[in-house]
Amino acid sequence: MSEAVLPDVMVPPAVGGLYGEKAGGPVVDFSYVGIDAILEQMRRKAMKQGFELNIMVVGQSGLGKSTLMNTLFKSKVSRKSVLATAQEKIPKTIEIKSISHDIEEKGVRMKLTVIDTPGFGDQINNENCWQPIMKFINDQYEAYLQEEININRKKRIPDSRVHCCIYFIPPTGHCLRPLDVEFMRRLSKVVNIVPVIAKADTLTLEERDFFKKKIREELRANGIDVYPQKEFDEDAEDRMINEKIREMIPFAVVGSDQEYQVNGRRLLGRKTKWGTIEVENIAHCEFAYLRDLLIRTHMQNIKDITSSIHYEMYRVRRLNENNTVVTHANESEEQFDSL
């Protein structure tokens, strides 16, 4: 059994004087209540429980989805890295494949689940190719809802809900494809979408800036609200921080899990005939901004919006559907009884 630790304010009268008078002992602040200790209590509890993060990656083959995920977490976390096959064929239909990892950094444990969608956008006819992905996201909400409404529910419900969807846009330099617009328009209503321009090193800086501006215009024109959504800014400080992020979206990223020696430093990058593209150098690409958003500054907010907005909307809709069914059933019974 662990030993109880007494707070500093509980000093025996023989040691310290009354009302902070010094009598050979420490000065006691009798105005101190200890409310701030709740932060340490929450930190200890969170450290014991660990954290969960579920990220979905969507985009056609060859855009570097697996490499980017490995770069983000500096580990082999992508499905292809773990389940390497000889030559993966493009599936005829969209498949949803997920793989989970327990990762730890400085004593903080996190269960990371990466959800891949091989086959998306790779067919001749891509009509309704967003439907299996939408179904998967809603299935996770349904599984959480069923656990929640159980009479004897678990103390901690396993969270398989998709917290964030990274959508990979091909670096065409022109405009969004109808497939991109349709996918983000439909899916932005049920999940946090973060669009990225894949393999951005294939564009010049001028082409990149033009493409980013064009995409932002198209997102506004089609009413697509990507993360961080303006309507969910909590205060002026949030609004100011998020406005800077919104001005950078979509992030032009380059992924690499290869290390190179540059000016005596080892860094992640892509080596070309003309030099090395440094993945974490903001002068070369915007990978660092994406990493900060997903992991260092907005991870908890992404999870909160999933829980309090997207899941809540699904929960309300499903419970209303159930109530409507029960009401109709009761009406039918009453009509039958009156016969």
Express each pLDDT in 181-213 by its tens digit.
999 999 999 999 999 999 999 999 999 999 999
Identify the CA nearest to 60 among candidates 116, 139, 110.
Answer: 116
When mean pLDDT is compared across 86-95, 234-243, 280-289, the lowest value belongs to: 86-95
* DSSP letter string, 11-26: --TTTS-GGG--SSSP
Q: Is residue 288 predicted with pLDDT exceeding 90?
A: yes
> Quick one: which of 252, 296, 250, 57 has its CA closest to 166?
57
CA pair distance 158, 144, nearest whole angstrom: 8
pLDDT category at 304 given cuts 50, 70, 90 is very high
Instruction: Using the predicted structure, report yes or no on whether residue 128 has a pLDDT greater than 80.
Output: yes
Per-residue pLDDT band for 264 (boundaries 50, 70, 90) equals confident
Question: Is 42-80+88-255+285-331 a CATH 3.30.70.2190 domain?
Answer: no
How far, in Å, are 85, 123, 124, 170, 280 from residue 92 at the CA level? 17, 7, 10, 21, 36
What's the CA dihedral at 81, 87, 88, 89 to 10 degrees?
170
Spatial contact of 299 and 105, defined as CB atoms under 8 Å apart? no
Sheet with 259-262: strands ordered across:
259-262, 265-272, 275-278
Q: Tokens 């980017």, residue?
A: 68
Q: Measured between alpha carbons, how far is 282 from 279 in angstroms, rounded to an integer?
A: 8
Share of the chain above pLDDT 70, in %: 84
d(CA 25, CA 17): 8
pTM for the predicted model, two decimal places: 0.84
Say how far apart CA 314 and CA 319 lie, in whole Å: 9
